[in-house]
Chains A and B, each alone.
Chain A
């Protein structure tokens, strides 16, 4: 599959420019590859390696550590049911069992139509809204079995208004050239200019 296309490459270069050391852009670039193809392809990893100046193996090393980065195709929609302690106390196990029965897959599996991948995930920080889940990282709170069935039918006919897997934030950071302070490389610069300010001369000097 694909290396980064021209559009992704432009975004990638803008991301890399925000870091003093290009390798720091690795995770955002892997997300970008996943946004383009729905998962992280080997070609994309090789391309990213070229862009940040590391080997493809190093990119694979980073990529394989993080749960969100998929190296095999997944469904259009990741349905991640929270199984953290707060959701556990309020019935997440029942919800997961219901999901398994409804979708006919175990956590980690994808439905035959390629629409939905089910996962049971650790705490996703909506503990007061238990049991909760995320669809492509967008929350659904206090989910009942009926809510779940409704969600699945909306996902199957693409009416749930959720972007397909890979797209996270719909807004990207953009720094205009006239507003950019400039990255701070580790081997550059002495004391920043403003540290010379000392109007009251009673600071503790630390």
Chain B
């Protein structure tokens, strides 16, 4: 199936067009908190089973099955915590903010369902600092939900189910989207990742206790899954990429937008060119390249357009769906500048804990800067690849890591992609004398 999702297939963006969808009244009127009620009629383990059956993949970037991740909490170790990752900052990514602003109760309901299923006794909702509107929408929704008895002491009147949701907000640091850095930040520290193993959050997380870290979009799917059953969810989309997913299509397209589509069956061509989605390139322009899953992802080209938005397929093709961010570049794009833009991002956001990332991303940025300034050296293009190889040996996909987290290796993606495909454009930035020297040397 490659047709766009009909409106009735929308699961988590169904209230985006409802003016008061962010209020408790609007949410309840449109079926809100029914999933929580249904969950509380079930045994916690059965709720977990439904999520396993749904094969819900994590929507934050890594795409790990949520139901499996939930099973990693060591038995008998209490308390356990839920940490919601709302620190959306991957360049091009723009969905969690909308889910928090336009349907905050759906996320709150998802949090409560997760807490109930796994025995998580407190939830921390970590929202990116820069998202002031999302913070106030969530604060307002939580205040309403507490008053109405959906959150806090004796949820829905059940004397044995009480859980607090603490709204927390960051202060500007991309790295905090990495789950162990998120936990460090939530503990009041500098947001630097922890080594895994041993610090897998499910076993040693917040305050050293088992902690489930889930993305906003992941949790937003839970009310629907519990209400309609895991099998109904798994029946949508592809075998290994079930349900729907929200993609932001930005850059050089006619109608940039955020679209919820069937996961795994919609193709890149559909979402980029279909008039019901991004509507194709700007008039008179042609596709040069696109980033399929956020700034960390290797770039795709014309020949990848007919691939489905399906995790396994995209992984095998050498990139990733990542955080659901598709950034489209047309024939007017200066790929060296685009490459520099993405690399500068990683250099700036490196937390500085691991040497290959701290030093490597800075060097990559400096080399690209001097190239753009017309001061490149003949050996610079090979030097870029050499630095990349030091950060991620072999420059393969998925990337090998010399670092604690994937930030450093992510900076390799744009260089490896752009330099391999558009080497002549990089060479064109070398000063004329340098080009001659290159010719002589080779």
CA distance A26 to B170 in the complex (A): 10
- A21 contact from B131, B207, B329, B333, Cβ within 8 A: B207
Asked if B249 is at the interface of the complex by the 8 Å CB criterion, the answer is yes
The interface on chain B, measured as residues whose beta carbon lies within 8 A of the other chain's beta carbons, has a size of 97
B-chain residues with CB within 8 Å of residue A185 when the two chains form the complex: 79
Output the nearest chain B residue to A182 by Cβ-Cβ distance: B164
- B79 contact from A129, A173, A184, Cβ within 8 A: A184
B130 engages A186 (CB within 8 Å): no
A-chain residues with CB within 8 Å of residue B94 when the two chains form the complex: 125-128
Asked if B373 is at the interface of the complex by the 8 Å CB criterion, the answer is no
A191 engages B136 (CB within 8 Å): no
B-chain residues with CB within 8 Å of residue A69 when the two chains form the complex: 171-172
Output the nearest chain A residue to B136 by Cβ-Cβ distance: A169
User: Chain A interface mostly helix, strand, loop or mixed?
Assistant: loop
Output the nearest chain B residue to A34 by Cβ-Cβ distance: B171
A196 engages B250 (CB within 8 Å): no
A-chain residues with CB within 8 Å of residue B136 when the two chains form the complex: 168-171
A30-B171, A181-B162, A186-B208 given; A169·B79 CB < 8 A:
no
CA distance A80 to B130 in the complex (A): 10
Asked if A206 is at the interface of the complex by the 8 Å CB criterion, the answer is yes
B345 engages A89 (CB within 8 Å): no
Taking CB atoms and an 8 Å cut-off, the chain B residues in 150-178 that contact chain A are 151-153, 158, 160-164, 166-174
B-chain residues with CB within 8 Å of residue A195 when the two chains form the complex: 44, 119
A-chain residues with CB within 8 Å of residue B333 when the two chains form the complex: 89
CA distance A19 to B187 in the complex (A): 10
- B160 contact from A24, A80, A130, A194, Cβ within 8 A: A194
CA distance A180 to B329 in the complex (A): 50
CA distance A45 to B92 in the complex (A): 35
A62 engages B140 (CB within 8 Å): no
A203 engages B116 (CB within 8 Å): no
B-chain residues with CB within 8 Å of residue A173 when the two chains form the complex: 139, 142-143, 166-167
Asked if B357 is at the interface of the complex by the 8 Å CB criterion, the answer is no
A-chain residues with CB within 8 Å of residue B52 when the two chains form the complex: 204
B43 engages A203 (CB within 8 Å): yes
A-chain residues with CB within 8 Å of residue B258 when the two chains form the complex: 128
- A86 contact from B91, B152, B153, B208, Cβ within 8 A: B91
- Tally of A-B Cβ pairs under 8 angstroms: 261
A22 to chain B, nearest CB (A): 8
Render B88-103 as a binary contact track against A, CB cut-off 8 A, 1 for contact: 1111111011000000
The interface on chain A, measured as residues whose beta carbon lies within 8 A of the other chain's beta carbons, has a size of 80
Asked if B29 is at the interface of the complex by the 8 Å CB criterion, the answer is no
- B48 contact from A83, A169, A190, A206, Cβ within 8 A: A206
A-chain residues with CB within 8 Å of residue B45 when the two chains form the complex: 198, 203-206
B121 engages A85 (CB within 8 Å): no
- B92 contact from A62, A85, A170, Cβ within 8 A: A85
Asked if A8 is at the interface of the complex by the 8 Å CB criterion, the answer is no
Render A108-128 as a binary contact track against B, CB cut-off 8 A, 1 for contact: 000000000000001111111
B-chain residues with CB within 8 Å of residue A204 when the two chains form the complex: 45, 48-49, 52, 71
Render A141-167 as a binary contact track against B, CB cut-off 8 A, 1 for contact: 000000000000000000000000000
A residues near B, CB below 8 A?
A: 18-21, 23-28, 30-31, 52, 54, 61-62, 65-69, 80, 83-86, 88-90, 122-130, 134, 136-139, 168-176, 178-186, 188-206
7 example contacts (A-B, Cβ-Cβ < 8 A) are as follows: A27-B129, A28-B168, A184-B81, A184-B164, A195-B119, A199-B42, A201-B43
Pairs of residues from A and B, 8 with the lowest C-beta to C-beta distance, nearest first: A203-B45, A67-B172, A66-B171, A26-B188, A169-B136, A186-B207, A128-B256, A127-B250
